[in-house]
Amino acid sequence: MPAMKELVKGVDRYKHFIGGQWVESTVKEWIDVENPATEAVIASVPNGGADDADRALVAARAAQPAWEALPPATRGQYLRDLARLILENRERLARIVVAEQGKPIQEARGEIEGAALYLTYAAEEARRITGDIIPSDMPDEQIWIQRVAHGVVVGLTAWNYPAALMCRKMGPALIAGNTIVIKSHEGTPLSALEIAQLTVQADFPPGVVNVVSGTGENLGAALVRHPIPRLITLTGSVRAGKEIFRSAADDLKLLRLELGGKAPFVVAEDADIGAAVRAAVLSRFENCGQICICNERMYVHRRIAGEFTERFVAAVEALKVGDPTLLVDVGPKFSRPELEKVERMVERATSSGAEVLTGGGRMAGEAFSKGHWFQPTVLSVEDNQMAIMQDEVFGPVVPIMKVDDFDEGLRLANESRYGLSAYVFTKDMRRMMRLVRELKFGEIYVNRPGGDAVHAHHAGIRDSGIGGEDGKYGLDAYFQKKTIYVNYA
């Protein structure tokens, strides 16, 4: 089989993975992949186009009937084998994630373990692909409702968790009997291509998994527009979600759109302040603030705001920012446009009255002369309508606002066009029950930092998307229902 990459002028140039083979793109253009910490070009990938989309989807379609015909437990065994290989290659894959995405190495190791877990969880579901048998209103008749595969799935993933997001989609898609074409974000394509290579080692039938590289605008749009895929699953921005929604309308394709967030973090007057500070720091600064469920805006009861803010700012100032290949807390932003976006948001906030409590700009000094570094930043604000309180930052910046009581905290938390996740710290049972009832978010963390379970459900409402992933509800999206009326009179 042709090699997955070749060395061109000292840089690895990858190919597409289509039909179990490493193939050249028909478009002879390449995208440079940059290390966010050093700005060095670490590899290049094809800037794929419509022909590549077509080849990958045709290969996926050809492989699908035989894949669906396998017993689910056999499909599960392939997923387990792949998960084992991913774990055997944990360190190598984690270092690739650090190089292409910039998260600290210990977080990247966690991402690779998470990627394997998505696959083993999906494999566990193999023996629970059940349907219904229901009585008919007619004599001598039964009605069966089966869950069957859609056919071909397209998975489009964001740059913040390139390996984990691929497996979060691939696991349930494949166990349900679909085949898949994955396109990672063009800035972070490498870990997905490396995992594709592991499917060869795991002896996957050709065409079951296909991984192509290119921009969202060209290749992504071509995959969405193509008549073959029945289900498009995107993890990405609201902008992309809306574009895909429009483009998928022509063929009435099914969509799962896992989009952005603007999680509120409400701290009640009775909260355990130490625990709330620790959770607020972790939930904001992990992965340099680039997680859809990150703590994006804080509402702290006026009575404890002084102590909370002092301890929070001290904890933020203690974060170690630096080379993500070492044990640090915060790495670089993923890209120059992302860095500049965060910088603009902070400038706009301060010019509209926000006060900088710590940070506020780019990291200074020789160690940060290359790369996309922003200081961990805390702002104090008084107006919930400011852009910094309403728009997703997706970076190491968090605004704090004092509130007069729990009701105000809840009300302001709900004043958002996003609806993915929310955090609350309170020890009061009545408050806890109220927030569970009244907070309009898909995922609520009470008295703990963020981090979702592979067997739970991760779903946003409003601008945060339509769909949801993980657990039995996430898996169900990868099936369609087929109803059969059996008359045996």
Binding site for ligand NAD (CB under 6 A): 156-160, 183-186, 215-216, 220-221, 224, 234-237, 240, 243-244, 258-261, 292, 392, 394, 420, 458, 460, 465
**HEC readout, 341-386:** HHHHHHHHHHHCCCEEEECCCECCCHHHCCCCCECCEEEECCCCCC
Q: In this complex, which beta carbon is closest to ligand NAD, that of residue 228 or of residue 234?
A: 234
Q: How far is the CB of 484 from ligand NAD (least distance, A)?
A: 35
Name the catalytic one among 194, 292, 294, 338. 292
Q: In this complex, which beta carbon is closest to ligand NAD, that of residue 234 or of residue 271?
A: 234
Q: How far is the CB of 188 from ligand NAD (least distance, A)?
A: 8
Q: In this complex, which beta carbon is closest to ligand NAD, that of residue 80 or of residue 185?
A: 185
Whether the Cβ atoms of residue 392 and residue 260 lie closer than 8 Å to each other: yes
Name the catalytic one among 107, 258, 296, 338. 258
Residue the block writes with tokens 């927030």: 435
Whether the Cβ atoms of residue 101 and residue 291 lie closer than 8 Å to each other: no
Q: How far is the CB of 342 from ligand NAD (least distance, A)?
A: 13
Q: How far is the CB of 287 from ligand NAD (least distance, A)?
A: 10
Residue the block writes with tokens 């915060």: 330
Non-local (6+) Cβ contacts of 168 within 8 A are 115, 118, 235, 469, 470
Q: How far apart are CA 260 and CA 334, in angstroms?
A: 16
Q: How far is the CB of 252 from ligand NAD (least distance, A)?
A: 17
Q: How far apart are CA 59 and CA 365, in angstroms?
A: 50
Q: In this complex, which beta carbon is closest to ligand NAD, that of residue 23 or of residue 263?
A: 263
Q: In this complex, which beta carbon is closest to ligand NAD, that of residue 81 or of residue 243?
A: 243
**Is 194 in the active site?**
no
Q: How far apart are CA 147 and CA 176, in angstroms?
A: 8
Amino acid at site 267:
V
Q: In this complex, which beta carbon is closest to ligand NAD, that of residue 190 or of residue 305?
A: 190
Q: How far is the CB of 430 from ligand NAD (least distance, A)?
A: 31
**Is 124 in the active site?**
no
Q: How does DSSP assign 163-212, residue by residue?
A: HHHHHHHHHHHHHTT-EEEEE--TTS-HHHHHHHHHHHHTTPPTTSEEEE
**CA trace torsion 37, 38, 40, 41 (10° rounding):** 0
Non-local (6+) Cβ contacts of 365 within 8 A are none
Residue the block writes with tokens 């070492």: 326
Non-local (6+) Cβ contacts of 369 within 8 A are none
Q: Which residues are catalytic?
A: 258, 292
